[in-house]
Amino acid sequence: MEFADNYAEQMRRTLLHLLAWGFFVIFSALLSGKISMILGLLTGWTSSLIYFLLMCRRVKRSTELPPEKALSSMRTGWLLRYGFIISILVLAVKVPGIDFWAAVVGVFSLHIVLMVNAVWIVVAGLITNLGKSE
């Protein structure tokens, strides 16, 4: 049960950070007067959020499968998720009013959040171990 508890906690934490990032970016666009970019940011951010939830669901389901079926399931999920992202970007190109580059930034929201979390973990570990000698 330890994996499931830690997995659920990490999923909730990443989801919370992703929500905070989305509100920060959209609020920043509002404050800076870039109103035309908000629809693109919101479109990309929403797709990033859905991508994360789909990935979490796939990982959870794969833990319950035998290794061969889990690998096949993960490959299928990978193709479906990337197909989803590509369709969102095509939508951003085709629909007037959606800024494509803002949508691209929104699509990378999950990656930005994960990178910031990784940097935070490394810096926190360095600060904790600062001054300790072996």
Q: Examine the pLDDT at 2 and tell me if it is beyond 60.
A: no
Q: Examine the pLDDT at 82 and tell me if it is beyond 50.
A: yes
Spatial distance between the Cα atoms of 103 and 101, rounded to a whole number of angstroms = 5
Q: Name the token pair of 124.
A: 């926190």
List, for residues 50-70, the tens digit of each pLDDT value.
999 988 888 888 888 888 888
pTM recorded for the entire structure = 0.80
The whole-chain average pLDDT of the chain stands at 87
Do residues 74 and 58 lie in contact, with contact meaning Cβ atoms separated by under 8 Å? yes
Q: Examine the pLDDT at 3 and tell me if it is beyond 60.
A: no
